[in-house]
Amino acid sequence: MRTQVVIVGAGPAGLLLGALLAREGVDNVILEQRSAEYVLGRIRAGVLEQGAVAKLDQAGVGARLHREGLVHHGIEISHRGTRHRIDFQSLVGGSVVVYGQTEVTRDLMDARAKSGATTVYEAEDVSLHGFDGERPAVRYRHGGVAHEIACDFIAGCDGYHGVSRQSVPRAALTVHERVDPFGWLGVLVDRPPLSPELVYVSHERGFALCSMRSLTRSRYYIQCPADERVEDWSDERFWTELRRRLDEPANAALSTGPSIEKSIAPLRSFVAEPLRFGRLFLAGDAAHIVPPTGAKGLNLAASDVHYLAGALVDWYRRRDDDGLDDYSRRCLRRIWLAERFSWWMTSLLHRFPDTDSFGARMQEADLELLYSSRASQQSLAENYVGLPY
């Protein structure tokens, strides 16, 4: 079998890349290790920057997002029992859209199925070959049968644990990583959100976040030690701890109920450099991980795909190598800015076990500056709604 581009991974990054390429007449095949049901079952955040929304519109899958997504013009930050609103609209004239990553994936999957483009789910033993030359190929097994796809390029969109980055010789790759000593314990519940916008909480007991998936489904998080077990957290224990961290009006508005999903997500910062290895390109979580505090994970994947799709289309139309040659640099510039913002938000709002009194007072001063300085608020708003591509 032959195609122009093999995309490894059918998460949002791989599916979005496949959609954008197909609309420009670039043939592609997507390989996914898991089943379609498993991919859709992954619970992820869904705060979309304006740039990500534009990419989904360009891919032809934005209709339901615009019908059902919740447009937010700001966030609230709670500290010492008082909430302070960061008004994106007045500060930078921007907004974000709350629309679950699961729904983004569903829209992209449905559109791909209707288009007739090839996606192979439950592709086993995927291996990448020849990407350091001009004749790359991808081999895999499906249903017990061995297959090989010859191609021009390979896009590694298969996440942090995927085969794409692991196929790169170690000497060719520089890895930057930081693992935080805590995680986020998250609960999904079919109850209305306590506030029309996301509420970020800085509290002496630890960070909390009041988020949402829709007007009737809420997502709540609390900071917990990295070695906590989700089995040790009953719903009652979770709600009790969350209430301890909320201000009085938030507690009055909080509607609790039985959780429909509960999990602990570790917080990690990770960047691989470079992102191009001959005819193999890394994108999305295969290339970088950010703490969820800044809501940048899915949005960085969308910007990677923006650069990669444009570069590949230019190559097929005009045999123009400039976009491919510059792909890594352009992506990494935006990646490191997002890493910085996510690190800053995490440092601002969380309690670190090794923080001394000086560090605690610096955190207080940083929050005070944010509340009192329009310039500081403007910087947060500019980064949160998304820096330009």
Positions annotated as catalytic residues are 72, 200, 292, 296, 384
Residue 41: predicted pLDDT: 84
Residue 252: predicted pLDDT: 97
Question: Domain range for residue 161?
Answer: 5-71+95-176+268-346
Q: pLDDT per residue over 182-223, tens digit each?
A: 999 999 999 999 999 999 999 999 999 999 999 999 999 999
Q: What is the CATH number of the domain that holds 292?
A: 3.50.50.60
Residue 22: predicted pLDDT: 97
Residue 224 in any domain: the answer is yes
Residue 85 in any domain: the answer is no
Residue 112: predicted pLDDT: 97
Residues 62 and 9 in one domain: yes
Residue 26 in any domain: the answer is yes
Residues 221 and 153 in one domain: no
Residue 376: predicted pLDDT: 98
**Residue 294 burial (10 A CB sphere; 0-12, 13-18, 19+):** buried
Residues 39 and 99 in one domain: yes
Q: Which residues of the chain have pLDDT under 50?
A: none
Residues 203 and 245 in one domain: yes
Residues 22 and 134 in one domain: yes
Number of domains the chain contains? 2
Residue 46: predicted pLDDT: 85
Amino acid at 227: D
Q: What is the CATH number of the domain that holds 364?
A: 3.30.9.10
Residues 13 and 100 in one domain: yes
